Amino acid sequence: MLQVIHTKNELIAALARFKAEGKVIGLVPTMGALHDGHISLIQYSKQQCDITVASIFVNPTQFNDPADLERYPRPIERDTVKLQEAGCDILFLPSVSEMYAENEQWHIDLGRVEHVLEGAFRPGHYQGVTQIVKKLFDVVKPDFAFFGQKDYQQFLVISKMVEIFKMPLKLVCCPTIREKDGLAMSSRNIHLSETERNASLMLSKLLFAAKNQISAKTIEAIENEAMSLMRTAELVQPEYFKIVTADSLQAPASTNGTEKMIALVAAKVGNTRLIDNMFMD
């Protein structure tokens, strides 16, 4: 039976009982509007942990675009049913005032993973993400926390934060769940019209193509071709298409080396900003 909890104190009390029994706690942080990608994270947590806590909190400090925050979908009743059906144990559903004091300040030096790619196009985004994730980790004190590969750079940034604060938990990066036609599931897909939905397929197609071409072409050629195909596509405004090292998001020394590589893409389709990525091996 899903327990819905709105305050930090109540959550700490509920978890204290489980912790006293030696139960392993898994946390799945989300912003709601749940889809099968989120539910897969709940399933990974249930496989590895005794108690699964999901949080739904549309965190204002990570939105660099006020219009994006305003129109972020919030179907909380449907989300609650989905979590109940998935066998989640606790839903943490706090208000903004429960999580933030007025004019609260936060800054953490996360190094280069904060400033490239998403960080360059969404200034301040990862400060906001780490600010809220630190609060969630401090309240729940989970043994494991589950995140999606779809937000790969976010996973690296949170890993860096955990290292800086020496937090005693294990982070798990779970595979991206896609629609049958390849589109990465995302809460923001709901905003796409039918034509935009068709146009957005280009992102995953370019990633699959890059993976096929990686040993035959230079990285520069693959990136340039992808960018020019996106630039000429109707409704698509590309931000970046980059192939970088998976651990530090830097240009790889060569394509035939041993470094693990990942391609990452971001583009606006109509008014909706989408991201996706794929490992190149």
Ligand X SMILES: CC(C)(CO)[C@@H](O)C(=O)[O-]
Among 79, 89, 114, 151, binds ligand BAL (CB under 6 A): 151
DSSP-assigned letters across all residues of 102-133? TT--------HHHHSTHHHHSTTHHHHHHHHH
What's the per-residue H, E or C state across 182-205?
CCECCHHHHHCCHHHHHHHHHHHH
**262 marked as binding residue:** no
Q: Does residue 59 bind ligand ATP (CB under 6 A)?
A: no
How far apart, in whole angstroms, are the C-alpha atoms of residue 106 and residue 103? 10
Residue 128: exposure state from Cβ atoms within 10 A (0-12, 13-18, ≥19): middle
Per partner kind, with CB cut-offs from 5 to 8 A, the member of ligand ATP, ligand BAL, ligand X, none near residue 133 is: ligand X
Q: How many CA atoms lie within 13 A of 145 on its CB side?
A: 22
Pairing of strands 261-269, 272-279: antiparallel
Residue nearest ligand BAL, CB atom distance:
151
Q: Does residue 277 bind ligand BAL (CB under 6 A)?
A: no
Q: Does residue 38 bind ligand ATP (CB under 6 A)?
A: yes
**Which residues lie near ligand X (CB under 6 A)?**
29-31, 59, 62, 129, 132-133, 151, 154
Q: Does residue 83 bind ligand ATP (CB under 6 A)?
A: no
Active site residue 38: yes
Among 40, 43, 52, 62, binds ligand BAL (CB under 6 A): 62
Query: Interface residues with ligand BAL (CB under 6 A)?
Result: 62, 151, 154
Binding site for ligand ATP (CB under 6 A): 30-31, 37-38, 40-41, 147-148, 150-151, 174, 176-177, 184-188
